[in-house]
Structure 1
Amino acid sequence: MADTEEKDLKTMRRRVELVANHIIPVPPSSGRYSIGFCNASMNDSYHRIHGEVPMHEAVWKPACDELGKEFTDIIYEKAEGEAIARITINRPERRNAFRPHTIKELIRAFNDARDDSSVGVIILTGKGTKAFCSGGDQALRSADGYADYENFGRLNVLDLQVQIRRLPKPVIAMVAGYAVGGGHVLHMVCDLTIAADNATFGQTGPKVLFSLSLSLKTYTFT
């Protein structure tokens, strides 16, 4: 009986040693672990599934649409050889709040990215780290709507939201800082949101007695 117990104990110890030897920690700076007799990096499994991933930074080039007009409220760029388009709301002094002209430029940029066969994915973000987008610019709001320097009172933000939802290419929102009101809806209609540590999300509707049910009906797309 004692011989059997001793044999079982030896077997158990041998198995524990084998398991312990599978993972041998090495200095953290190397970013690698010794697994059995094979040295493998933490990225090996990703590379095995997805293939080689470029580690260099993307080179961004200014882009324009078929109209050729210069963008003022947004920055439109494409990464050289990476199949990525990036649209940045460029009104940091207004927490990247949009006005009618901003919406028109966003629609133009999304149209171009959609039709460009070299673009596979679109990034939507805001200039700076304080805000992704704070919704409509309330400084321009009057009884006639959001009138900007073009005296154009229609905001057209619903058209932009529908456009993003119906795009045949994935749209990724990169959010740093505030994404509130209409800016909160913008990130929600994107396919994916990547949020920074300081990202703050919220809706202002309830504070101004905007009906939640109306909001849900407005932002439901098929």
Structure 2
Amino acid sequence: MELTDILYEKTNGLAKITINRPEVYNAFRARTIQELIWSFRDAWDDNRIGVVILTGSGEKAFCVGGDQKEKGEEGGYDYSGGLGGGIGLEVETLHQTIRNIPKPVIAAVNGFAIGGGHVLHVICDLTIASEKAKFGQSGPKVGSYDAGFGSAYLARIVGEKKAREIWYLCEQYSAQESKEMGLVNKIVPADQLQQAAEEWAEKILQKSPTALKMLKYSFNADSANIQGISQLSMSSLAMFYNTEESEEGKNAFLEKRPVDFKKFRR
């Protein structure tokens, strides 16, 4: 597959996947999602690969979710080729691929991990963050949501009360605050992030691949029911994107004006 939106490299048992759209804070479009799925599946099929690092290009962002400028007139995202999964993005497939790949996935969060980008790091097995990283949700601010792994699994990590706070208030949290709530495993200086991720990867590569695979399956089993919830979530989101309420969130973001959801409470 020709890669335009991500960088993909494999070295000595490590696969590194970098979202490479720094001009839009590594926001993803349909093409980006397709390339991410392809890369994770390639790493899955390659028996020489034992661990995957997911990160973002540049110093500002890991990923800030879906690119609002790519959102079409009918609510879903514009895309060329592939299956859209109802919203023009194969996000559900990507989530399942990251969870199910029988190899540990490390998120190296170099900057903003917001919205759909926040969900990506949550789903990864481990998260190492730059001290400059910021975490948070934005969905309800822009007429969107992730009622699957992005909320139900998040609650398993940080607890119900904190997960509701993250989604209802849409505030941003520092790397230290995120570590305290269990979202981040380790914090390092920005210029040491990639090195730290690779050091953890090397430690993992020294372990039994079968043992790691079975452990990941075991960890996933307890929250496997969320996959069904995720399917319902994405189906409902496809319908929601066709409403005036969702459009208001998108348009306010693009027009850089305050959003007005009050009229939808009448």
User: Normalised by the size of structure 1, how large is the TM-score?
Assistant: 0.62
- In structure 2, the residue matched to 1:98 is 28
Counterparts of 1:47-66 in structure 2, within 5 Å, are none
- Aligned-partner residue type, residue 88 of structure 2: R
1:78, 1:141 → 2: CA distance? 33
- In structure 2, the residue matched to 1:24 is none
Identity %: 53
Give the Å deviation of 1:167: 1.2
- In structure 2, the residue matched to 1:146 is 77
Question: Bigger radius of gyration, 1 or 2?
Answer: 1
Counterparts of 1:106-145 in structure 2, within 5 Å, are 106-144=36-74, 145=76
Greater strand content: 1
Structure 1 150/139 Cα, relative in aligned 2: closer, same or farther at 3 Å? farther
Cα-Cα RMSD? 2.4
Q: Which has the higher contact order (CA 8 A, sep 6+)?
A: 2
- Aligned-partner residue type, residue 203 of structure 1: Q
Give the Å deviation of 1:163: 1.0
- In structure 1, the residue matched to 2:113 is 179
1:212, 1:189 → 2: CA distance? 12
Give the Å deviation of 1:92: 0.5
Give the Å deviation of 1:192: 0.3
Structure 1 143/70 Cα, relative in aligned 2: closer, same or farther at 3 Å? same
In structure 2, list runs of 5 or more residues that go unmatched.
157-222, 225-266
Structure 1 211/126 Cα, relative in aligned 2: closer, same or farther at 3 Å? closer
- Aligned-partner residue type, residue 7 of structure 2: I
Give the Å deviation of 1:148: 3.7
Structure 1 212/184 Cα, relative in aligned 2: closer, same or farther at 3 Å? closer
Deviations 1:122-170 (A, max 9, x none): 0000001100001000001123311046696610111101110111100
User: Normalised by the size of structure 2, how large is the TM-score?
Assistant: 0.53
Identify the match of residue 8 of structure 2 among 47, 69, 76: 76
Greater helix content: 2
Comparing 155-164 and 175-184, the one that deviates more? 155-164
Contact persistence 1:206–1:212 (CA under 8 A):
no
In structure 1, list runs of 5 or more residues that go unmatched.
1-68
Q: How many pairs align?
A: 152
